[in-house]
Amino acid sequence: RHIHAAAPGPWPATREVEGPLPKTQMGWEIHPEGLEHFLTRLARDHVGNLPVYVTENGMALAEPLDDSTRTAFVAAHLRATQRAIAAGANVQGFFYWSMLDNYEWAEGYEKRFGLVHVDFETLARTPKASYHALAQALAHN
């Protein structure tokens, strides 16, 4: 999301402006280059060679089991992390959020973040295409 000044008005007068990039179901822009920039800047300006972990990277998405958008999201963010490592960031771990569709504290069961679909009526779990794609990527790295 972009924040712009909203004049006239008392300080701080701001307004949200929708950005141009594709969005998650939460309305958040998808920008893997932002992760790369953050990781390289963190290493360069703040932590040096200390180990860094990406602890929550994921997206809410309404797509069913064939979730090609999430698959592309995960692949793009892993590539961004690899570029940051090549640039000197000491990234030691990358954790996708979340393995299972779950209860999201602010959104309830409406948004689905998981790599594994959960039928909230029966609790049956079915791996999504993104789960299989990530498993395949991990097996080759």
In a domain, 16, yes or no: no
Token pair recorded at residue 2: 């972009």
Range of the domain at 89: 28-139
93 lies in some domain: yes
Q: Find the helix or strand (DSSP H, E) in which 136 lies.
A: helix 129-139
Q: Is residue 35 part of a domain?
A: yes
Tell me if 121 is assigned to some domain.
yes
Please give the average per-residue pLDDT across 59-76, as a whole number: 93
Residue 69 lies in a domain: yes
Cis, peptide link before residue 12, omega less than 30° from 0: yes
Q: What's the confidence (pLDDT) of residue 87?
A: 98
Q: What is the mean pLDDT of the chain?
A: 92
Res. 13 pLDDT band, cuts 50 70 90: confident
Higher pLDDT, 59 or 8: 59
116 belongs to a structural domain:
yes
Residue 19 pLDDT > 90? no
7 part of a folded domain: no
Alpha carbon of 59 to those of 16, 25, 124: distances in Å? 21, 7, 21
Domain count, the chain: 1
Q: Is 21 a domain residue? A: no
Confidence grade of residue 86 (pLDDT, cut at 50, 70, 90): very high
